[in-house]
Amino acid sequence: MEKALASASLPFKLLLSCPSGLSPPQVSVAFDVAYDRLLHQDIELENSISEIWDQKVQDNKSLYNGTKFRYGGHNLLCGDGSNQDSHVCLHLGLTDYRTFMGTNLNPQWEKFLVPSEDDSIRCQHTSSPLGNGAIVETSDRKIIVLQRSTNVGEFPGHYVFPGGHPEPQEIGITSHQYVKDLTGSELINKKVSQEMFDSIIREVVEEIGVPASTLCNTVFLGISRRELNVRPTAFFSIKCSLESKEIQQLYLSAQDGYESTQLYAVSLSELENMTSKMPGCHQGGFALYKLMVESLKNT
């Protein structure tokens, strides 16, 4: 388990790589206001967040300012070197869609960045909501890939892995004040940690239509950050007990099938050929999965 180095030629950076995969007990969360976004000292830049959101709402009255978990870094513990003793603690705060639109998706997004080798410092002024993505392997050893609809806001027509975001509202978190009103921050941290795993199962079920009971062996692979807009995504590997042909049929009635136009079940080599048409963070997800495959070969 290691932090992976960035390359100037890649559209992504691997912030955290866990090649052997980490099970739920090996992934914890420190949820705290300390990991929220810091305001930028440039008042005009800060004001642009509201200006962008007001314009977006005027153009699209259906926009909703939902709360998201903000990625603020992590701690890595490797024990004696065995995978069973490895542990990651994710540092998460709160952010929202409005701030995401006004920082990460701001035409001036690079002005929010701080020159630093420390990623949490470099992105301290951005919303950086933590997304999630799943590399789902079928019982006939195929990987599931979706092609995004041409009607979506980001990367229309691109190939992606199923995914979305862990949701604070799913476990009753609406603000830090709400958490302060409860007793036992350790309980909250455990709930947020569980949501990291529950949410990716939920996204896979909603986007490809398979029953949750067919999904198992969910492991955390790491975090990839897209260099464009510095957007972070946590990736997981999930086994599905169904064959690819069965999944193709279930996909036709998937709850969130409107977000994509087609489902592909591909081999590892075929997937590699598709990565050039993936967003940067999903290319990073593929890199994390390849590291896991190589790790399994060496054991």
Domains and CATH numbers, the chain: 12-297 (3.90.79.10)
Q: What pLDDT sits at residue 142?
A: 98
* DSSP state for residue 14 in the 8-state scheme: E
Which element (helix H / strand E) includes 130?
Answer: none
Q: What pLDDT sits at residue 7?
A: 45
Which element (helix H / strand E) includes 79?
Answer: none
Rounded distance between C-alpha atoms, residue 34 and residue 292, angstroms = 32
Q: What pLDDT sits at residue 163?
A: 96
Q: What pLDDT sits at residue 80?
A: 55
Note the pTM of the prediction, 2 decimals.
Answer: 0.93
Which element (helix H / strand E) includes 133?
Answer: strand 131-137
Q: What pLDDT sits at residue 63?
A: 84
- How far lies 3's CA from each of 6, 11, 12, 119, 168, in Å? 9, 17, 13, 11, 27
Q: Are 101 and 41 in contact (CB under 8 A)?
A: no
Q: What pLDDT sits at residue 130?
A: 98
Q: What pLDDT sits at residue 85?
A: 76
Q: What pLDDT sits at residue 186?
A: 85
Q: Which residues of 3-21 are buried (b: 16+ CB within 10 A; e: fewer)?
A: ebeeeeeebbbbbbbbbbb
Q: Are 145 and 274 in contact (CB under 8 A)?
A: yes
The answer, yes or no, to whether residue 152 has pLDDT greater than 80, is: no
Q: What pLDDT sits at residue 9?
A: 62
